Amino acid sequence: MNRNQTFIKELEERLDSDGPFSSFQLFSLGYQAEQARIVPSFHGLRSLDFLPHMSFLDHQLETALEAIEKMNGRVILADEVGLGKTIEAGLILKEYMLRGLVKNALILVPASLVNQWVNELNTKFYIPAVSHRKHHNWGGNTILVSSLDTAKRTPHQEVILANEYDFVLIDEAHKLKNHQTKNYQFVRQIKKKYCLLLTATPIQNDLMEIFNLISILKPGHLGDVASFKEKYSGNKGKQEADAYLKQLIERVMIRNTRENTNLKPSNRIIETILVDFTKEETEVYQQLNNMQRGQDIFTKITLLREICSSREACFLSLKKLQEANTPDEEIHSIIQKINELPAHSKALKTVELIEQIGNEKVIIFTEYRATQLYLQWILQQHGISSVPFRGGFNRSKKDWMLQLFKGKAQVLIATEAGAEGINLQFCHHMINYDLPWNPMKIEQRIGRIHRFGQENDVKVYNLAVKQTIEEHILNVLYEKIRLFENVIGELDAILSDLNIQDMEQEIETIYRESDSLGEAEIKLENLASIVHKLADDMNEKSVGE
Amino acid sequence: MAIVNIEQFMIDFFSAYQCKLLNKENGVLQVELTEELDKVLMNRPFYWHYMQNLGQKGVPMTLTLITNPEKRDQQGEWIDIGSPRLQQIFNHVTHHEKYTLLFQEVNTDKNTPLYPWLLANFKVSYRGRQKKEEIISLGIQLVTGKVIVNMMDELNKLNLKQQISNFCYTISPIITLASGYKRIEKIIQHYVENQPKEWINEAIETRNEEIALLKQFYKDDLENDIVKKELEEIHNRYTPEIAIDVTSGGLIYLLQQFPEV
């Protein structure tokens, strides 16, 4: 029991020296303030009283409560993309701060998300978080946000390890799966009281990954390394059988899925729009398809995909091909033809679609930078304002583009790389101008707008050109696998059962190893059927349960 | 929660600091700060420093504080119980308005004695796996040694001033401040010791479980630095602790018949 003796001494001193003393009015305001702030119970979320402007979803409240009361603040938050891990983490931090259990915190996130974290903590939770760039200091009673990469660099690393933090949070914690990496060693050594690890994909390949994550939070929770390795490492078949292990993991990890929350896929409306090529475009497409020099099937596929996206994208690749090789009549003539093509049919369709949508915000995803530029130009020709967004932008430019999109511009044209982690709930129309081969990417894309805070139905438009490779991919990957209906988590499991780590690579390999387009198509069909069947099996099983 | 009406709290606060209330309608409060409060709330030391160097009088800012949800879109600062501005005010009053010396206001033409009371507002925090706090307001009369609880509630019923009223005189304490304080502190301690103890046992149990897991994890290597670090962290997280603090208090002279029934 700690007692504080300063009060009575100070009072005596003030009486001896005639003050200063407060009037009863101010004295009583101080008392009221003190009462307003106390935490009267061990249980519950006191922070909700202080965040009247926020409305939380049930699963977020339950998660925060469980993380604090049952798991004692050392937790892996593993919700699926878009269910509000940030919100849950903010709420937990706020609660600890209000209870006076956390005075300083270190929040390590990907560099591109630092500003977003600072913003959300300040505006949504009234938590005075600052980015390390502005604060230049790792100590003091501050809530610091930084990138893991900065933090682990000398001299920062040494200073951080000499400090003690009440609260440490690592976003995108799957980067810590391997215990031999610098990241892992570093985080492991940080002195901390409470610790949250955020990841949407806690296990990708091997159970050792979850073992390593848990060892940061609670060493020994899953036993010691050797016996765990012996029992589970690499052996995926067993994991399902081991209900005990599952239970243990559930004591340090919370995973909400769309399925068990009220953010269900039902409020996604997905529309496929098929576009006809003009006669001239079809001719160029056929010519590319019949190209003699295209022995390399993969190059050919790339060119075909590109011409379905924009003349510019295809043109650039052909140019490169020409420069790399001896001059080639055939390529030359195709380039000529491309030069003469009028506006791209799919781009015109996009313009039409945006005009139909009216005044609402739209985000367009494309795979190609050349297409991105072209789309910007053609939208401008039609009086539609747009801003570009891509991975190569630095942080402040990204922030600026997002601000423009939120404010003035109607359309955001993004390439894949830039989109990780950004939140665009204020927009509910998405055009997939070309479809990626990796279905996970689509989920990531949709997750940008279909996430916590989205108040409208999300409308996703998939564009594909008829009678081209695009339509084929659409049929095989997206319709057969019924990607959009299946929960992505299931697909995750299916792919790992098939030992496929990356769908995109798998498809690339199929094309690369096939002698003709026809052969590749058959192989793809096969792949799709297997995935389809496994998904059905899985659904039956879960219905059976 | 004690503060039911945030707007009234702010009005009381700003008027107690002699700020000019330019407007208070429908949950929109416009207030011209004094120099003193500008320095406290607006965080612009350079401005005041600069003005002082120029030998000029600075101009304090005017705040518009909105508590009515219907007016939320108006220009100004939205204030709710969690907003930083209100927390800043809370911090200020809890830090600076801790000590008081007061006299009961008495309208009389006879010589009237006022009796000395020591007031202490205790905050007790219990920290195990979680934390909770409570505030207990105690008073002790320094002549008779009589003790009452909820002293603040009783005081709120009276008129208290910083000057003594005409014809009133104070009785000197027989019990010194220090020993009066010791007496009420004992009462608090006794109270705390008789509170339910489950939370202490829970915390110790959790602590021991985690230590056991840790030792099993590092069974061959218990002298490792990382083990020491983890052990320390476990102790920091779970070792139960009770803290008794006085948040505010003072010396108050009251009529003999206190508390009034």
pLDDT by 10s per residue, chain B, length 261: 456 688 889 999 999 999 998 888 888 899 999 988 888 888 888 888 898 888 888 888 999 998 887 887 788 888 888 888 888 899 999 999 999 999 999 998 999 999 999 999 999 999 888 889 999 999 999 999 999 999 999 999 999 999 999 999 999 999 999 999 999 999 999 999 998 888 999 899 989 888 888 887 777 666 777 788 888 888 888 999 999 999 999 999 999 888 876
Residues on chain B touching A128 (C-beta within 8 angstroms): 84
Query: In this structure, are B228 and B108 located in the same domain?
Result: yes
Query: In this structure, are B222 and B118 located in the same domain?
Result: yes
d(CA A330, CA A300): 14
Q: Judge whether B127 lies within some domain.
A: yes
Percentage of chain A surpassing pLDDT 70? 86
Nearest CA in chain B to A43: B130
Of A10, A191, A218, the CB nearest to B213: A218
Residue type, B80: D
Q: What is the pLDDT of residues A402-446, one digit of tens each?
A: 889 988 899 999 987 666 667 788 888 999 998 887 766 777 788
What chain A holds in terms of domains, given with CATH numbers, is 7-37 (no CATH), 56-254 (3.40.50.10810), 267-275+341-544 (3.40.50.300)
Q: Judge whether B239 lies within some domain.
A: yes
Query: In this structure, are B135 and B77 located in the same domain?
Result: no
Nearest CA in chain A to B242: A1
Domain encompassing residue B66: 6-96
Nearest CA in chain B to A123: B83
What pLDDT shows up at residue A441?
Answer: 73
Nearest to A60 by CA among A267, A51, B260: A51
Q: Give the count of domains, chain B.
A: 2
Q: Which of B70, B96, B122 is the last residue of a domain?
A: B96
Query: In this structure, are B74 and B104 located in the same domain?
Result: no
Of B134, B156, B219, the CB nearest to A28: B156
Of A69, A193, A215, the CB nearest to B237: A193
Query: In this structure, are B52 and B165 located in the same domain?
Result: no
Q: Judge whether B218 lies within some domain.
A: yes
Of A7, A29, A41, the CB nearest to B16: A29
Q: Which of B68, B96, B124 is the last residue of a domain?
A: B96
Q: Does residue A343 contact residue A275 with C-beta atoms inside 8 Å? A: no
Best of B8, B66, B92, B94 to mutate (most A CBs within 10 Å, chain A): B94
Q: CB distance A30–B97 less than 8 Å? A: yes
Q: CB distance B243–A128 less than 8 Å? A: no
The tokens of A248 are what? Answer: 């243990």
Query: In this structure, are B103 and B70 located in the same domain?
Result: no
Q: What is the pLDDT of residues A12-41, one digit of tens each?
A: 999 998 879 999 999 999 999 998 888 888
Query: In this structure, are B87 and B126 located in the same domain?
Result: no
Best of A34, A75, A130 to mutate (most B CBs within 10 Å, chain B): A34
Q: Which of B67, B96, B125 is the last residue of a domain?
A: B96
Q: Does residue A462 contact residue A474 with C-beta atoms inside 8 Å? A: yes
Q: Judge whether B1 lies within some domain.
A: no
Nearest to A157 by CA among A108, A206, A93: A108
Query: In this structure, are B134 and B186 located in the same domain?
Result: yes
Query: In this structure, are B86 and B105 located in the same domain?
Result: no
Query: In this structure, are B165 and B134 located in the same domain?
Result: yes
Q: CB distance A15–B101 less than 8 Å? A: yes
Query: In this structure, are B90 and B114 located in the same domain?
Result: no
| Alpha-carbon torsion angle A466, A467, A471, A475, nearest 10 | 120
Query: In this structure, are B82 and B143 located in the same domain?
Result: no
Q: Are strands A74-77 and A2-3 parallel, antiparallel or unpaired?
A: unpaired
